[in-house]
Amino acid sequence: MDKETRKIARHLANKIIKEVGPAVREYVGTDLGGTEVKTGADGTPTSFIDQVAEEKIINILKNAEVYSYLVSEEVGELKLGKGTKRSINLTQELRRTDLADEETPKFIFLIDPVDRTSNAIKEIPAYAISVAIADVNQGRVATINDVELGFLYNLANGNFFEAEKGKGCKLNNEAVKPSDVIKVNEMTLGGFTKTGTSEASKLVDSARRMRVLGSVVLELSYVASGKYDAFLDLRGSRIIDIAAGKLILEEAGGIITDKYGQKLDNVLSIYEKAIVVAANNKIMHKQIIDILNDNQAEIIGKIGVISRIDQDSPIVFAAKIIDYIFTNGREVVVEKQLAHKLLELKENPDLSKIIQETKDNYPEIASELDEIDFNIDYDKISENLFDFDCDMAIILGGDGTLLRAHNKMKDEIPIFGINMGTVGFLTEIEVKHTFDALDDILRGDYYKEKRTRLVVSHENHNFKAMNEVVVMTDKPAKMLHFQILVDGEIIEEVRADGLIISTPSGSTAYSMSAGGPIVDPKVEGFIINPICPYKLGARPFVVSDNSEITVKLLKKGKNAVFVMDGQINEEAKYEEEIKFKKSRKDAHFIRTSSKYFYEKVKDKLNEGGIDSK
């Protein structure tokens, strides 16, 4: 958006605010103002006062000399300008490449005519009009990060916030900045925390003060100007509610992300919502994110090291990591098979050649491998995985290595995976980021992510699985007949080559290859996915992880094997039942990256390949 275009945008925004203010004030505190007149495009009730404000906005943009797109809660999505008014689907409209230059809108306006209408009707002085203006890049979908101008007018007291991307934020023409509070127990917190989680309650209990005014955009501006120290909406705010407030806060110097610390990049749409966590500074923001996700970091004193041992490069890299841990004053325990391989490597006359080959395979860390201290008694610091007792286990390999190790270790040991396999959905980082990530971890700058696991019961024996359990015939090219029950109710009888019961973590593994859905690990569910079912109508199910799933074999004379995470095989016979329930103990992963699930899925699937190690 060039200087002249911004000038036009500012003029339209100021005109909207100037005309909406008096129109709204006439109906504040009146019965007429609160009369419900219709249901808005976003599905919420529209009061008379909302309609009055929105009609003013539409009239101004309709008669403007330029075309604009408008996203507003009552009317939805419109194209306005030069006397025209037309309903559109903004996403579809932006993807068009056939518009002539003179027909292309210059702006996307995201406007909440009266944020917190109920306050205005009851004369509670916390209601405002917000105007966010995004640039138009015809041919691609617009996101909240395309917003370049943000305006907020407090209709109750006349305060006026304005922000321009890269130019800062002002309140009544004076620059503002957030508070410098860094302790959670000293913060003033605003927002909505209705999630039913103990973590949200813990955050509220930790705060010095809690405010709930109901106006998202106003409360975001309060963080920007130092009246609040933090704000969150864990219900999900509409994008039109937060678009202006996000820019105002960021330009003032604050931070706003989703619950997991990810930057907001939501599509501009009447239907789009986002969970938001806003704070005055990075220190406060990280503490809030950690509390909400139960990710409080603990001091890492003793570290276990596990590696795939079928290749030399991971073993060399394991030696470097062990050296690094000792150099940083931490204790180390090494898995016995790895220790044996390290002792062999130490005595290998071709050690220099092997190290050079590792450098060639991983040039990003070549300099880290220039010096490795092999003068370590690996046998003395080795233990069986069953006996590991450490604060964190570093696992070098792909998802197969990680799952094998996890199945043998104590449940409470958090895992940090370094991808030396092919894909590595479960691993945290690629090799090149290893030492930066380990530096962060040893400083305590990490969080723990919980992943649901399965408990599998068969004939009085229990097994565990983190990814999936596959039930299949013990003879190739033969079908099985399954009866599937959820909480005692038969949901399907199906003939198929096999059946996959998967956790969300395993949704990107065999289940995905068999046509199952990709499921966010935050989803509290399990996937039941038939493999090549004979009946075309047999489709995958996603069921609550509070349910008990029972699989029964119905075909006499046909036995089956069920395999946990590709590691443990057991046999089931005709009419025997295999039961699946959520484990009372979750798996824990050490995370340092803010890259969350969807971005990782996109990256990994673009790479292709399946990790078998």
Residues belonging to the active site = 399
C-alpha pair distances (Å), 498 with each of 1, 17, 444, 457, 535: 56, 63, 44, 18, 13
Structure tokens at 496: 């198929």
CA-CA distance, 152 to 516, in Å (whole number)?
A: 45
The type of residue at 519 is V
Q: Cβ distance 437 to 592 under 8 Å? A: yes
Q: Which residues contact 517 (CB under 8 A, 6 or more apart)?
A: 507, 527, 540, 542
C-alpha pair distances (Å), 563 with each of 473, 520, 560, 571: 11, 23, 10, 9
DSSP 63: T
Structure tokens at 572: 């089931």
C-alpha dihedral sign at 280, 136, 238, 272: negative
Q: Cβ distance 121 to 49 under 8 Å? A: yes
CA-CA distance, 70 to 151, in Å (whole number)?
A: 15
DSSP 125: S
E strands, 398-523, in order: 415-419, 429-430, 447-451, 454-458, 461-465, 468-473, 480-486, 489-496, 498-502
Structure tokens at 77: 């999505």
Q: What is the DSSP string of 308-345?
A: --SSHHHHHHHHHHHHHHHHTT-EEEEEHHHHHHHHHH
Q: How many other C-beta atoms are found inside a 10 Å radius of the C-beta of residue 573?
A: 13
CA-CA distance, 287 to 104, in Å (whole number)?
A: 44
CA-CA distance, 76 to 54, in Å (whole number)?
A: 11
Instruction: Find where tokens 């024996």 sit.
Output: 461
Q: What is the DSSP string of 495-554?
A: EESEEEEE-SGGGGTHHHHTTPPP--TTS-EEEEEEES-SSTT---EEEETTSPEEEEE-
φ and ψ of 71, to 5 deg = -120, 115
CA-CA distance, 285 to 279, in Å (whole number)?
A: 5
